[in-house]
Chains A and B, each alone.
Chain A
Amino acid sequence: MKSDTITRYILFISSLVVLLVSAGMVFSLVGDAVPVFEKFGWRFIISTDWNPTEGRESYGALPFIAGTLSTSLLALLICLPMAFATSLFIAEYFRTSYVSSVLGTMVDLLAGVPSIVYGLWGFYTLRPVIVSLGLDAQGYGIFTAGLILAIMIIPYATSISSQIIAMVPTELKEAAYSLGATRYEVIKYVVLPNARSGIVASFILAFGRALGETMAVTMLIGNTNIIPTGLFSTGNSMASVIANQFGEADGLKMSALIAIGLLLFVITGIINALGKMVIKRMSR
C-alpha cells in the first residue's frame, strides 16, 4: 500500500514540472522585458522607431507586429481556399478511396518538412520565380514570406478540417441527397453548416502557427525594420527580428527582443486558446 502512495506522489510531482515551466516562462519573459517597458512604456508597442545606436537607443515593436500580422494574414488568406478544397477532396469526395489516402499522406509529409527546409526552398526556388515573374526585383518581402507561410500552415488546417468534415453524419448527407440535392448542394447546405465551427477553429489554429514561424520567414521577408508599405514591401516579423538581431544584442536591446518574444507569446496564446475553445464548444 505504501508503494502506491509513493507512486502517486511521483506522478503528482512530475505534473508540477508543467506548472513550473509555464509559470517560470511567464516570469522570466516578463522579468527580462521590464527594462524596456520601464523606459518606453506603451510607446514600445506603438512606436516604429528601432535604433540600437548607443546613447540614442530607441525601441518600438510596431513594425514587427505589423510584419507578423501581414504575413500571417496573407498566409491565412491563401490557406483558406486551398485547405478547404483539399479537405473536401480527402474527407468528402474521395473519402474511402486510395487517392484520398495518397493525398492525405502527402499532406502529412508537407506538415513534416522542417521550417528551415521550407526557407531554403523558398529562397532558391520560390524567390527566383517571383523575380522572373517580374512581381518584385529582389523577391524578398511580405508576399514571398506569406506564400511560404501559407504552404507551411495548409497541411495543418487541412488535417483538422478534414477530420471535422469526415465527422458530418452520413445520414444527414443522405437525407439531403434523397431530396434531390447535388453533391455541391449537399456540401453547401449540409456539410459546411455542420462542420463550420470546426473548420473555423482549424483556420484559427493554423493562423496561430503562422504567427510564430521563424526560419522560413526570416529567410524571405527581407529584414528591414519598417512597417510594410505593400504586398511586395520588405519588413521584419516579430520572430524574425529576434532570430536576426539576437546574436549582437545585450542590455536594453536584449530586453527589447525579449519583450517582443513576450508579445508573441501572448498573441499566439490568445489565438490558440480561441481555436481550442471553438473546438471544445463544438465537441460538447
Chain B
Amino acid sequence: MNKNIDILENPALKLENLYIAYGKTDKYAVRDVSATIKKNAITAIMGPSGCGKSTLLRAINRMHQLYPDVKTQGNIYLNEKDITKMSAIHLRRKIGMVFQRPNPFPTMSIYDNVVAGYKLNGIRMKKNERDAIVEQSLISVGLWNEVKDSLRKKGTFLSGGQQQRLCIARAIAFKPDVILLDEPTSALDPIATSKVEDLLVQLKKDYTIVLVTHNMSQAARISDYSMFMYLGDLVEYGKTKMMFTNPRDKKTEEYLTGKFG
C-alpha cells in the first residue's frame, strides 16, 4: 500500500526512508517513513503515545545529533536541499521548534527571550532593529498588548499559555521557513489552547507548520494534512478532511474512533 498518498510538487520538506533508533538495539522508534510536507500548510502528526511522533519531528531539525546514541538513517530535504549537507546551525536557523512544555529562558527577560535566537547566534543588531523584531514577533503571537509594559520582566512570570506563545514568538522572531511543534498545547488549559490554535492558523500564511498532537479534534480543527503513526510506522498520510471522513487504513479508523490510543 502506498503510504504516502500526496506526492507534492515543490514541498517544504521531503522525508525519504527514514529510520531512527535509540541506542544500539535494532528496534526502530521510526521505521521507513517517507513523506512530503506542503509549504504554508499545517501538517499534523498523530498517533498513540510512544509511536515515534516526537522522534520523527526531532529528526527534522537534527536534534538527535545532540545525543550520540540516537541513530538516524535515510534522507531529509529542506527546500530540496539535503539537511545533512547543511551545518546544523544553518538548518536550525531555518527550522524553528516549540516544545511540549513552555520553556522560556528563565534568566532572560521577555524581550531577551524573543531575540534569544539572535543573541545565541552572535548576530549583532541596532537597538531599533531589535525593538522592531520584538514588537513584530509579539504582535504576531498576539502577546504584544499583554506584555508590552513588562518587557523587562522575566518570561517565567507569564502564565503557561502566554509562555508558550512567547516560545512561539522566540521561534518566529528568527524568521524560519518551517516551525516544528511538539504537542504545544498539552500543558495548557482550553482557553490558552484555542488561542495557540488560532495563532497557528494565522501563521501558516508565512510558515510551514508541522504539529505533533495527541488531540485528534485539534488536528481536525486546524490541520490541512495529517499523518497517522503507529509503532514507528507511518500508517496513513493524507488531507485531514479525507482522513477523518474516510480513513483508508483499519488502524487509522480504530484510532480515530477512539478504539485505542
With contact pairs A185-B122, A189-B119 given, residues A178 and B96 touching in the complex (Cβ less than 8 Å): yes
Contact between A193 and B121 (Cβ–Cβ < 8 Å)?
no
**What number of B residues sit within 8 Å (CB to CB) of A?**
29
Contact between A180 and B116 (Cβ–Cβ < 8 Å)?
no
Contact between A180 and B90 (Cβ–Cβ < 8 Å)?
yes
In the assembled complex, the Cα of A193 lies from the Cα of B174 at a distance in Å of 22
Q: Does A175 contact B (CB under 8 A)?
A: yes
Contact between B107 and A179 (Cβ–Cβ < 8 Å)?
no
In the assembled complex, the Cα of A175 lies from the Cα of B163 at a distance in Å of 13
Min CB–CB distance A86 → chain B (angstroms):
21
- A:176-197 near B, CB below 8 Å: 176-182, 185-186, 189-190, 193-194, 196
**What number of A residues sit within 8 Å (CB to CB) of B?**
19
Min CB–CB distance A258 → chain B (angstroms):
46
Contact between B117 and A180 (Cβ–Cβ < 8 Å)?
yes
- B:139-183 near A, CB below 8 Å: 167, 170-171, 174
**Residues 70-107 of chain B, each 1 if its beta carbon lies under 8 Å from chain A, else 0:** 00000000000000000011111101110101010111
Q: Does B125 contact A (CB under 8 A)?
A: no
**Contacting residues, chain A, for B107 (C-beta < 8 A):** 190, 193-194, 196
Min CB–CB distance A189 → chain B (angstroms):
6
Contact between B120 and A189 (Cβ–Cβ < 8 Å)?
yes
Min CB–CB distance A181 → chain B (angstroms):
4
Q: Does A174 contact B (CB under 8 A)?
A: yes
- A:15-60 near B, CB below 8 Å: none
Min CB–CB distance B207 → chain A (angstroms):
15
Min CB–CB distance B237 → chain A (angstroms):
24
Contact between A169 and B89 (Cβ–Cβ < 8 Å)?
no
**Contacting residues, chain A, for B252 (C-beta < 8 A):** none
**Contacting residues, chain B, for A186 (C-beta < 8 A):** 120
Contact between B120 and A185 (Cβ–Cβ < 8 Å)?
yes
With contact pairs A171-B101, A171-B103, A172-B103 given, residues A177 and B121 touching in the complex (Cβ less than 8 Å): no
Min CB–CB distance A36 → chain B (angstroms):
49
**Contacting residues, chain A, for B108 (C-beta < 8 A):** 193
In the assembled complex, the Cα of A220 lies from the Cα of B170 at a distance in Å of 55
Q: Does B66 contact A (CB under 8 A)?
A: yes
**Contacting residues, chain B, for A169 (C-beta < 8 A):** 103
With contact pairs A169-B103, A172-B106 given, residues A178 and B63 touching in the complex (Cβ less than 8 Å): yes
Contact between B103 and A177 (Cβ–Cβ < 8 Å)?
no
Contact between B93 and A175 (Cβ–Cβ < 8 Å)?
no
**Residues 153-174 of chain A, each 1 if its beta carbon lies under 8 Å from chain B, else 0:** 0000000000000000101101
Interface core residue of A177, A180, A182, A193 (most chain B CB under 10 Å): A180
In the assembled complex, the Cα of A171 lies from the Cα of B66 at a distance in Å of 12
Min CB–CB distance B173 → chain A (angstroms):
9
Contact between A180 and B92 (Cβ–Cβ < 8 Å)?
yes
Q: Does B208 contact A (CB under 8 A)?
A: no
In the assembled complex, the Cα of A169 lies from the Cα of B90 at a distance in Å of 24
CB nearest to A176 among chain B residues: B120
Partner of B63, one of A177, A185, A193: A177
Q: Does B223 contact A (CB under 8 A)?
A: no
Q: Does B61 contact A (CB under 8 A)?
A: yes
Contact between A174 and B99 (Cβ–Cβ < 8 Å)?
yes
With contact pairs A174-B63, A174-B66 given, residues A180 and B103 touching in the complex (Cβ less than 8 Å): no
In the assembled complex, the Cα of A54 lies from the Cα of B7 at a distance in Å of 102
With contact pairs A180-B89, A193-B107 given, residues A175 and B167 touching in the complex (Cβ less than 8 Å): yes
9 further A-B pairs in the complex, CB-CB below 8 A; given A171-B103, A180-B93, A180-B174: A174-B97, A174-B99, A178-B97, A179-B92, A179-B93, A180-B88, A180-B89, A190-B105, A193-B107
Interface on A for B, CB 8 Å cutoff? 169, 171-172, 174-182, 185-186, 189-190, 193-194, 196
Q: Write 13 A-B pairs (CB below 8 A) sorted by A numbering.
A: A171-B103, A172-B105, A175-B97, A176-B105, A177-B63, A177-B92, A178-B61, A178-B95, A179-B116, A179-B117, A180-B174, A181-B121, A189-B105
Interface on B for A, CB 8 Å cutoff? 61, 63, 66, 88-93, 95-97, 99, 101, 103, 105-108, 116-117, 119-122, 167, 170-171, 174
